[in-house]
Structure 1
Amino acid sequence: MSLLHRLPQGLDRARKYYSNEDAVTATKRVTYDVQAEAVRLLFDHFQEDYGTPIYERDWDVLIILDACRADLMNEVADDYPFLEKYETYNSIGSNSAEWLKKNFVDEYADEMKKTAMVSGNPHTDVYLDEDDFAVLDEVWRYAWEKEDELFRANYITDRAISVMREHQPERMIVHYMQPHHPFIPYFEGFETELHGKWLNQWRDVRIGLASKSEKWRQYRDNLHYVLEYVDLLLHSIDSDSVVISSDHGEAIGEWGIYGHYDVPLQVLREVPWIETVAEDNGEYVPEFTPEHTDSEGARHDVEDQLEKLGYL
């Protein structure tokens, strides 16, 4: 997205800052946004793009944990047997939109046709077309009945298990929204105007509203939360080639950046790449059985979902 296209979004964010927060905090947020844009322009001019498309790697089931830093995964890897083969690789995207836009292109049309995509990420609305996939299940559209259930991992898990058992696709991508904020173990609901407790939590560290150690602990606990569902998934489907990875990382002060802009910082591009296997023991029966799995049964507007994740 060009600077010309980003400018209206920046002005809209600034308006929300000053409408919903005190002048000092709002000014700090605007100052940060200007600094982040300067870094983005710097990298646009002097840093060549890099990263490997997912279809150039080997996997049959790809589990994406949104916004998972490589060092965060390394911190918890010893706690889970299925994370033993811990490695990293460079993603082709620095945020979800860029990851989707660059991975799912005409060059890989044949592979996409063999792929079932089960996703909790609202960016699929813009960048993916259901006709390009064996199955495109946009769980974010319909799964969460109550606001305090938004982005919960059990819905993604149940739909992934059902899709695999019913359709048996050659390949499947399961896109969880954790450990991206909101940090579910601490989540109490979104504030009315969103610019408070749950929006841009890493930027709250930058302007002094939260400590880095506190947010890192919550970030790690959010990863623990989703890994319990990954464990359930691995015991409820069959595959000899499963990879656990991420679409992008998370910046926590590197180059003055907090969060994930479309800037090719190494901390945003380096993500886990963990190979494991899955075996269905037949014990788990998905509890979530939606009436609709397409846009006709949608409960949620894409812009509303993206705003709750801090993108708008």
Structure 2
Amino acid sequence: MYSAFEIRRALANPVRIGLECNRLYHRRGYRRAYNPSGVDVFAEDWDSLILLDACRYDLFERHSRLPGDLQSRTSRGSGTAEFLRGNVAGRDLRDTVYVTANPQLYRYREELNATFHDVIHVWMAEGWDEEYGTVLPETTTRYAREAAERYPEKRLFVHYLQPHYPFVGSETTFDKGHVEDPDGGEDVFWLRLTDGRLDVDRETVWDAYAKNLDLVLPYVESLLEEFEGRTVVTSDHGNLFDERVFPLPMRVWGHPKGIHVENLVKVPWLVHETGTRKEVAAAAPVSEGRTVGEDVVADRLEALGYV
């Protein structure tokens, strides 16, 4: 089940062992690929779905002034890949266009095997900001507007990266770039906070996280004003800030996959309606199947803490 590398890495950092024990519990020994208690977002009634990556419910509730009816939902994942496995894997979504700033669908494209009418990978060369190591919200918004104009008879799924780090709205440095981890591994920034190698107080990190949400909300509001029909604003998962998980009690930062505690899976579900509903129709995929080198994918994932 585990490779020799994974075993060596875990032994070198016991925090990984604790995370894996909790993951085994929540995933029932890996018999679950995702959180079955979560909402099936594509079975819900909407014309456009705007997703804010890694946005926990309580942060959104405190900071959002977006118009609409705010509810909550339980996500099918505590990480983006798990969210995608629970919602798009193997599905016929030819009535939907996915505009995404996150490389995870592309990374797991063969495993997920989802069929969208079109997928617009904003994170590829022209959409990626090299200075910040992310896709800026104004870029995602521009691509979303273009997709809405081009595909008026399709459901639109818009995936922003914010408030996921790097924290563009803050002058922090601890979340920017990549720090080599002698153990190797994923989500290095959050792992270094969890195991104590990075000493930054909770208030500082929370403030940076909140500013990243504040940065993206005006762009989301502009889309709510422009999109016709029923638009939902939600998230793929939440985020932990030195909070305890179970059953093995330990304090954790970030959004480790496969751990389904409340602040990782409780997400906002804001429903906004304006104008007339779309008349949605499925159609054959039009994507040109654009590809990029695996080195580009690895670079993007590393900047976002996935490698």
Per mean C-alpha deviation after superposition, the further-off stretch among 297-306 and 150-159 is 297-306
Given that 2:134 and 2:166 are in contact with CA atoms closer than 8 Å, whether structure 1 keeps it comes out as: no
CA distance in 2: counterparts of 1:201 and 1:306, whole angstroms: 14
Shift of 1:203: 4.5
Identity over aligned pairs, percent: 27
Following superposition of structure 1 onto structure 2, how do residues 38-57 of structure 1 map, counting pairs within 5 Å? 38-45=21-28, 49-57=36-44
Question: How many pairs were matched up?
Answer: 275
Provide the alpha-carbon RMSD of the alignment.
Answer: 3.1
Q: Contact 1:137 / 1:293 at 8 angstroms: preserved in 2?
A: no
TM-score of the superposition, structure 2-length normalised? 0.78
Secondary structure at the aligned position of 2:145 is classed as: helix
AA at the equivalent of 1:310: G
Q: Counterpart of 2:69?
A: 85
| 11 and 169 in structure 1: CA distance in 2 versus 1, 3 angstrom threshold | farther
Partner SS for 2:21 = helix
Measured after TM superposition, the shift of residue 300 of structure 1 is: 6.9
1-structure distance, mates of 2:217, 2:295: 25
Does the Cα contact within 8 Å between 1:95 and 1:262 map onto a contact in 2? yes
Q: Are residues 233 and 199 of structure 1, via their aligned partners in 2, closer, same or farther at CA, if it must alter by over 3 Å?
A: farther
Q: What corresponds to 2:107 in structure 1?
A: 126
How far does the alpha carbon of each residue in 1:240-294 deviate from its partner, in whole angstroms, 9 at most, with x for none? 2000000011122231232112222222111100001367xxxxxxxxxxxx986
1:268 to 245, 248, 264: 264
| 1:20-169 to 2 correspondences below 5 Å | 30-45=13-28, 49-77=36-64, 80-82=65-67, 84-106=68-90, 108-109=91-92, 112-128=93-109, 132-142=115-125, 143-144=127-128, 146-148=130-132, 150-169=134-153
2:224 pairs with one of 234, 239, 242: 234
The equivalent residue for 1:311 is 306
Report deviation, 1:231. Answer: 1.6
Matched, 1:182 2:192: no
Q: Distance in 1 between matches of 2:10 and 2:49?
A: 34
Q: SS where residue 50 of structure 2 aligns?
A: strand
| CA distance in 1 between partners of 2:76 and 2:199 (Å) | 32
Give the superposition deviation at 1:148: 2.9
Unmatched 5+ stretches in structure 2: 182-186, 246-250, 276-286
More helix by share: 1
Asked if the contact 1:183/1:218 (under 8 Å) is kept, the reply is yes
Is contact 1:181-1:201 (8 Å) kept? no
Structure 1 pair 293–230 and aligned structure 2 pair: CA distance change class (3 A): farther
1:10, 1:160 → 2: CA distance? 42
Q: Distance in 2 between matches of 1:247 and 1:166?
A: 25
Asked whether the 8 Å contact 2:99–2:120 carries over to 1, the reply is yes
TM-score, normalised relative to structure 1: 0.77
The equivalent of 1:220 in structure 2 is 210
| 8 Å CA contact retained: 1:183, 1:219 | yes
The reply on whether 1:8 has 2:5 as its aligned counterpart is yes
Change (3 A) 1:125 1:85: same
Letter in 1 for 2:85: K
Structure with more of its chain in strand, by fraction: 2
Structure-2 change in CA distance of 1:270 and 1:276 (3 Å): same
CA pair 305-174 structure 1, distance change in 2 beyond 3 A: same
1:128, distance to aligned residue in structure 2 (A): 4.0
**Alpha carbons of 1:299 and 1:276: their partners in 2 closer, same or farther (altered >3 Å)?**
farther
